[in-house]
Amino acid sequence: MRSSLFLAVVLALGSAAAIVPVDAQAQSRRQVKQTAEGAMVLTGTIDIGTEGQVEGFVLDQREKVEGQLAGFVERSVQTWRFQPVLRDGVAVRARTTVNIRLGAKADPEGNDLVTLQAATFGSQNTDSSDDVRPLKLKPPAYPAAAYNRGGQGEVMLVLQIGRDGKVMDVVAEQVNMHVVGDETQMKLLRRVLAQQSISAARHWTFIAPSTGEHKDDPHWSIRVPVRYSFGDKKSDEYGQWTVYIPGPRERAPWRTGEQDEQDFGGLLKQGGVYMADVSHGPRLLTPLGS
């Protein structure tokens, strides 16, 4: 899908989030800016048929979403196919809530393209004893090296939690920045924010699952998003684009096999704890990202 919305977002990023005042670095900054992406998270409700087909979809707050974009999402969701939902071994109709992440970026020809990048279904950030739950999560301090440079961004942490509720390992899966600098400065800011987040996370404690099919697992993986920001942004409003400079993704070494590779930035709310390898809703069979 082509969209002029993303162009406006990129222009806003260039005027409001520059951290490089030196002319000699302007070219490098422009190159970084060209990697900018837009993201928007929309929600809705899906009705699933007995063969896994979508029988209905209602987009929440449709009046807040640009018409062409809303139509694109609705048409796309109608083509999805799920693994049939079983009850006592029999396929049944089901209804699920959905969080959809849209992505926008320029293709090699300079056109702005919008895709459906990721989706989560059912309840997220539950307080169920089936899941890992937070006990003590002291938020990391804003590192001075980033604060003094105007560095703002979001760190997506992936943690390995042991049966005693302590952190066995932690990785900064991705650091997305909301400012623009040359590549050297961007690497510095990502490293500073990631290190501060990881250092704080190593001292967090959790309550291990005591019920459910995963209660006897030797360990669990969770995601915790950490945002470093100087204040609420208008782009956090429903139906508005958020622009960012994406960082490289790092895979947690203990996670193997067919575990998800989706970009969950923006789909998971700040302050939440989310099971990484446990689904709370139906399984989508249709590939996303195209």
Instruction: Please give the chain's pLDDT, 290 residues, in tens.
Output: 544 444 444 444 444 444 444 444 555 777 777 788 888 999 999 999 999 999 999 999 999 999 999 999 999 999 999 999 999 999 999 999 999 999 888 766 666 788 898 888 987 666 789 999 999 999 999 999 999 988 999 999 999 999 999 999 999 999 999 888 888 889 999 999 999 999 999 999 999 999 988 999 999 999 999 999 987 555 568 888 888 899 999 989 998 755 555 666 666 777 788 888 777 789 999 998 75
Site of tokens 């809303």: 70
If one counts every other C-beta atom within 10 angstroms of the C-beta of residue 173, the result is 23
Q: Is the pTM of this model over 0.85?
A: no
Angle CA(260)–CA(265)–CA(270) in degrees, nearest 5?
115
Are 140 and 196 spatial neighbours (Cβ–Cβ below 8 Å)? Answer: yes
Are 39 and 101 spatial neighbours (Cβ–Cβ below 8 Å)? Answer: yes
In the prediction, which pLDDT does 8 show? 46
In the prediction, which pLDDT does 257 show? 59
In the prediction, which pLDDT does 14 show? 45
Q: Measured between alpha carbons, how far is residue 70 from residues 56, 95, 99 in Å?
A: 15, 20, 14
Complete domains list, the chain, with CATH: 5-120 (no CATH), 133-230+246-275 (3.30.2420.10)
In the prediction, which pLDDT does 280 show? 76
The four Cα atoms 239, 242, 243, 248 give a dihedral, to 10 degrees, of -120
In the prediction, which pLDDT does 30 show? 74
In the prediction, which pLDDT does 25 show? 59
In the prediction, which pLDDT does 12 show? 44
Q: How far is it, in rounded angstroms, from Cα 115 to Cα 36?
A: 15
In the prediction, which pLDDT does 124 show? 64
Segments in 79-220 forming alpha helices (H): 144-147, 183-201
Note the Cα 168 to chain centre separation in Å.
Answer: 23
Q: How far is it, in rounded angstroms, from Cα 27 to Cα 7?
A: 19
For residue 42, give both structure tokens: 């929309």
Closest CA to 246 of 16, 23, 56, 38: 38
Amino acid at 39: A
Are 58 and 97 spatial neighbours (Cβ–Cβ below 8 Å)? Answer: no
